[in-house]
A and B are shown apart, each in its own frame.
Chain A
Amino acid sequence: MIGVYRELEGSMRLAAHVLRRFWVLKLPPVAEEFVRQVWFTGASATAGIVVRGALVGTLIIAYVIEVLDADAALAVRILLWVVLREIGPLIAAVLVIQRSGTAVATELALMKISGELASLRQLRIDPLDYLAVPRVVGIALANTALTVYVQFIAVGGGMLLSALTIHVSFFEMAGSFFELASPLDLLYAVGKSLLFGAAIGVIACYYGLNPPGNSINAVPKAAISAVTQATLAVMLLNVVFAYLVYGSALFGLFTASQ
């Protein structure tokens, strides 16, 4: 219990440090770290998402139209609710946890046990400023961009593949989509993704900077802790968002009116 409290407190302190020292991003070496992180988390992850995103969109449309025998308008409405608000941010977050969460935790833990963090301190460079701030901000922004990309691919690709595979008009679905979609949906997803990304970044950095020991065995342990805790944090944040937006959480167990 004390360990959980310590980890939570450490993560909160790290998040506060990132917010307080945001300005270090203007320093050239920190900016370079930031760009590297955005590239790794965002740009280099896009290729793997295309097929997955398009298949998710197709699956939802096909399921609603073929199995539930609904019309295109309802299929698009469900696509909008599920992909834009929920699945899009979650797919991006899971992908970022799998790739960047493990990479950041492993890299930082290795740097810690090989004495590189001490080397940075000897150069009068705060490892939190140089390593944590650009990674947390980079992951938050890249996760948001990735979410928008997933949504675009899942909605657009889903409608396109559905038009090719089942008897439904692409233009009919596109028309319904633009009629039903609201900028608030995108704003909601962007806000959620920013928070998901920041949480993933903070947790990965925290466990990477605080590996459970000084031997090489501590590195995979740090990575495992980062992945499990980041996944848990994303799920919890999703519940909080659902509660705030829909007024109920955990299938109505908690409701806003209570």
Chain B
Amino acid sequence: MTIQTTKESNATVVTISGRMDAMTAPEYEKTLNEFIASGETSFVVDFQGLDYISSAGLRALLATAKLLKTKGGQILLSNVLGTVREVFDISGFGTIFKIKDSVADALADIG
């Protein structure tokens, strides 16, 4: 898994590619936690390049979202596609996270 972050005017865009599982999820959580600790409250997590997400990956997403909620922040997802999308639909994550078709859509939604 590789993580790239870009600071946009109204949010930090986190681009994830590869596999998000028990091996790599801690890195995602650590990255996001550091941004949250530094005061960032709005994130777009882009799954364009994500091949696979395991239960541990989903759990990391959940933990970050929960932490962000307590700080009045928000997390939007974009490009949730293919098998990753299937996992989202099965797990009910689709109702917890705002999912947009593209990073641009997500950024526009944050406003």
Chain A bound to chain B? no
Q: Which residues of A contact B (CB under 8 A)?
A: none
